[in-house]
Amino acid sequence: MSWHREPLVGFDLETTGTEPLEARIVTAAVVAVEGREDEPVRRRSWLADPGIRIPAQASAIHGISSERAAAEGRPVREVADEIAETLVDYWREGVPVVAYNASFDFTLLTAELRRHGLPSLSDRLGGGGIGPVIDPYTIDRAVDRYRKGKRTLEAVCVEYGVVHGGAHDAGADALAAVRVAYAIAERHGSVAALTSAELHERQIEWYARWAADFEKFLRRKGSADAVIDGHWPLREPAATLSGISAPSEG
């Protein structure tokens, strides 16, 4: 059966910054959806105390101050462990996880697990790769490559006629990402025809191709040492981008 006829689970993080190997989790949500028009059938959300000050710029985006996180949030070690186990439980059941700009969220979560000495997502799955993951950002960029305009989650929601319940709220973003994934499948039959495992593999190829093209573009523009990590859905831990990060859309 095509993946877009199956249940999906949305996943989103709101964080202290835009560099996934350094930023910390502030809020998170995992939202299970049975079909494009359905309301969530299960939802889990977390508020973490990241253990560092939340920059004012980040607080202005997601609305969580350092003071609130310290007073109401749980230790980030506990939160990261629970998020990881929740995602792994869905994968064990064969349910794909949808994340918009997945390489950001999964790389950041993996960095948090490593930082706190917790088992990785891969370890929890017996040492294999994670997934299947569905990333509407990567898919949309591949199937509608030359469309002008932004590729933020809000902009892509408008493009596909999806109502977004509230930008930069982890639960609303997770649900919107799932609905965008369903909408992309409805518009693009070549994507809908794939199984979730096949789509996962295609996204690895699409992301690597995009990263190589973007790296070439940056070098033509004068950033001679620019390096864009082409791994998806996890960046390489040792990757350095010479001061230039891949765009963070969400």
Domains, the chain, in order of start with CATH, read 3-220 (3.30.420.10)
Q: Is-contact 210 168, C-beta < 8 A?
A: no
pTM > 0.75: yes
Place of tokens 């709220």: 169
The first and second tokens of residue 7, run together, are: 């249940």
More confident residue, 248 or 73: 73
Q: Which of 12-16, 121-125, 158-162, 166-170 has the lowest mean pLDDT?
A: 166-170
Using 50, 70 and 90 to split pLDDT, how confident is the model at 242?
very low
pLDDT of residue 33: 93
Q: Does position 224 have pLDDT exceeding 90, yes or no?
A: no
More confident residue, 25 or 4: 25
Q: Does position 20 have pLDDT exceeding 90, yes or no?
A: yes
Per residue in 98-117, pLDDT tens? 999 999 999 999 999 999 99
Rounded average pLDDT over 149-163 = 95
Q: Does position 173 have pLDDT exceeding 80, yes or no?
A: yes
Using 50, 70 and 90 to split pLDDT, how confident is the model at 38?
low
Interatomic CA distance for residues 229 and 236, integer angstroms: 7
Under 8 Å CB-to-CB from 66, ≥6 apart: which residues?
53, 54, 59
Q: Does position 237 have pLDDT exceeding 70, yes or no?
A: no
Per residue in 127-139, pLDDT tens? 988 999 999 999 9
pLDDT of residue 248: 55
pLDDT of residue 244: 41
Residue 149 CA to its chain's centroid (Å): 20
The first and second tokens of residue 227, run together, are: 């390096």
In whole angstroms, how far apart are CA 138 and each of 40, 64, 184?
23, 28, 11
Q: Phi and psi (nearest 5°) for 127?
A: 95, 0
- How high does pLDDT run on average in the chain? 91
Q: Does position 238 have pLDDT exceeding 80, yes or no?
A: no
